[in-house]
Amino acid sequence: MYEYRARVQRVIDGDTFDFDVDVGFYISLRMRVRLRGVNTPELRGDERERGLAAKEFVVEQLPVGSYALIRTAKIGKYGRYIADVRYLPGTPDASVEALQADGVDLAQALLKRKLAAPIDY
């Protein structure tokens, strides 16, 4: 597993995001990340209302331009990195140290609010 400070570029849905990831040496990469350990409802079909609620929660917690700590686990079948995501509510420019010490696990926050179901990878 690798840990990176990453800037939110787009929230796709409740469990998929685009991040600009600082990989060091003044290099950043755009990565699509799938949240590890949870599955949120889809934004289409019968799950749409619940899917929008999950996405809205994530957008409130991780607005575009804010920073999170991502810990990559592996690359999934659709080419997305499977990762843990930690954030500090109300602190959009949080440092790595602050995110490591006090960051909130996004998957756990979604589960606590019943906006996601646990899933194994």
pLDDT given at position 25: 94
Q: Is the pLDDT of residue 121 over 80?
A: no
Question: How many structural domains are present in the chain?
Answer: 1
CA gap 102, 88 in Å, rounded: 7
* DSSP SS3 for 69: strand
Q: Are strands 67-75 and 81-87 parallel, antiparallel or unpaired?
A: antiparallel
CA gap 104, 99 in Å, rounded: 8
Tens of pLDDT, residue by residue over 43-74, are: 999 999 999 999 999 999 999 999 999 999 89
Q: Which domain holds residue 30?
A: 2-118
pLDDT given at position 73: 87
CATH code, domain carrying 72:
2.40.50.90
Task: Record the pTM.
Answer: 0.94
